Structure formats: C-alpha cells, structure tokens
C-alpha cells in the first residue's frame, strides 16, 4: 500500500475517532460531573447526607464500571437504538462510549472533590453559603486541577474504547488497524496507525497536564 493510498484512509479514520471521542467526552462530562458531585454531596458527612441514595448510585456506577466495554456495547444495543435510532455507524458508538465512560469519570470527579479540604467547605458554611453555592463556588473551582486531570484520563480511555467501535461499524483508527493492518497484513499501515495513536494520546495527556498545572495554585 502506498502512502497516497493510506493518507485518505488515515485521515478519515482519525476524523471518525475525533468525532466519537469528542461527542462522547461532551456527554460524559454532562452526565458524569453531576453524578460525581452527587456521590460526594449525598455521602454520610456530605453537604446533604442521603446515604441510601448514595449507596444506590454507587452500586449503579460500579455495575457500569465492571462491564468490559465490548460487552457493554453489545448489551446496550436496544438502548442505543432507542436513543439514536440505529445501532451501527459513528453516532451509534457515542452512546455506548458515553455509557461506558460516565461511571469511570464520575468516580474520578468524586475523588477530585474529596481532595478539597473540609476546612474550606466549613469556612464557606460559616459564611452562610448554601449548598448550591458551596458546590459551585468552592468544591468545583477548588477541585478544578483534579477534574481536568480526571477528564484527561477519561479522554485517553475513550480513545481506547473507541478502537472497538469497528464491531458496530463505527470506524476510527482502531477499526482501520484491525481491518487493514491485521486482516490484510498491511504492516506499514498498522505501524503508522499505532504511531498516530501514541502521538494523539501523548498530545492529549500533555495538554491536560499543562491545563491542570495552570489551574493549580498550591
């Protein structure tokens, strides 16, 4: 396979990966952040202790985390059809990617929020701040470096999950490596894809680290 033949394939697959990861990252933050906040706020000794609700939430999150992504993707096919109307293609992959990443990210959000000192939260309570203000003005801003670090890890994990998207016709770099590199013995393409994935992950990690460092004022 010549470079000219590979270039459009690589370009298209990279774009598909970017789409899948981009959209699922967006939805993961949208759902995962509130769940992570809920895990902290509803905890015993949290701002609004509701231990039963928190336990139920914890169990649901753990179930989501215990399924291998490829199993999850197939298991939730009916749900995917319900949401996007189809079970194949790039859009259809965003649903299992999001479902898979939300519990993962929620736990990272929970861990980041727990790092915020109890003394700062109490100081805010002593100033008469309500629960919403404490979450918005204290917990989230103070945990921001940790949240960014968690998001970076999540995006990298999503790139990994997205490699399995080929199973349901989602395309992407992983699918390209399997179909051409493995099944058609195009070793060069395989190598180029691997290098490309390594570079992308490196870039994302470095970017995430840089942002987290800039936000940290410790």
Partner 1 sequence: MIQASGLRKSYGETVALDGVDLHVREGEIYGVLGRSGAGKSTLLRCVNLLERPDQGTVSVAGQDLTALRSGELNLARQRIGMIHQHFALLSSRTVAANVAFPLEIMGVARAERERRVAELLDLVGLGGRGGDRPHQLSGGQKQRVGIARALAGNPAVLLSDEATSALDPATTQSILDLLKRLNAELGLTILLITHEMHVVKSVCDSVAIMAGGRVEESGSIAGLIRTPGSRLTREIFPLPEPAPAGSVTLTFTGEPQRPVVSDLVRKFDVEVSILGGSIEDLAGEAVGRLRVALTGETAPALAYLRERGLLVEVAA
Binding footprint of partner 1 on the chain (CB under 8 A): 117, 119-120, 122-130, 133, 137-138, 141-142, 144, 215-218
Minimum Å gap between C-beta 134 and partner 1 is 9
Instruction: Indicate the residue among 37 and 168 with the shorter CB distance to partner 1.
Output: 37
| Residue tagged 């003394």 (tokens) | 119
Angle between helix 3-41 and 90-114 (nearest 10): 40
- Closest alpha carbon to 35 in 83, 105, 97: 105
Q: In the bound complex, what is the minimum distance in angstroms from residue 120's beta carbon to partner 1?
A: 5
Nearer to partner 1, 8 or 218 (CB): 218
Instruction: Quote the least distance from Cβ 144 to partner 1, whole Å.
Output: 6
Q: Which is nearer to partner 1, 81 or 136 (CB)?
A: 136
Q: How far is the CB of 32 from partner 1 (least distance, A)?
A: 21
Whole-angstrom distance, CA of residue 142 vs CA of residue 115: 9
Q: Describe the chain by its helix, strand, coil percentages, rounded to 5.
A: 85, 0, 15
**Residue 97 vs 147, nearer CB to partner 1:** 147
How far does Cα 131 stand from its chain's mean position? 27
């Amino acid at each position: 396979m010549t470079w000219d033949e590979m270039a459009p394939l690589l370009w298209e697959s990279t774009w598909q990966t970017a789409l899948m990861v981009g959209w699922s990252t967006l939805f993961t933050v949208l759902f995962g952040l509130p769940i992570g906040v809920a895990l902290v706020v509803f905890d015993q000794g949290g701002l609004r202790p509701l231990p039963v609700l928190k336990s139920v939430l914890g169990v649901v999150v753990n179930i989501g985390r215990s399924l291998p992504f490829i199993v999850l993707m197939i298991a939730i096919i009916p749900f995917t059809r319900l949401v996007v109307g189809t079970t194949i293609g790039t859009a259809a992959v965003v649903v299992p990617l999001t479902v898979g990443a939300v519990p993962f990210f929620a736990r990272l959000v929970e861990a980041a929020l727990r790092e915020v000192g109890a003394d700062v939260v109490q100081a805010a309570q002593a100033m008469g701040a309500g629960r919403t203000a404490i979450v918005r003005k204290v917990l989230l801003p103070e945990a921001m470096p940790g949240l960014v670090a968690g998001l970076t890890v999540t995006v990298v994990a999503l790139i990994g999950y997205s490699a399995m998207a080929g199973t349901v016709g989602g395309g992407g770099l992983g699918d390209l490596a399997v179909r051409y590199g493995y099944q058609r013995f195009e070793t060069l393409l395989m190598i180029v894809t691997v290098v490309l994935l390594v570079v992308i992950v490196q870039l994302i990690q470095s970017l995430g680290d840089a942002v987290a460092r800039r936000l940290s004022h410790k």
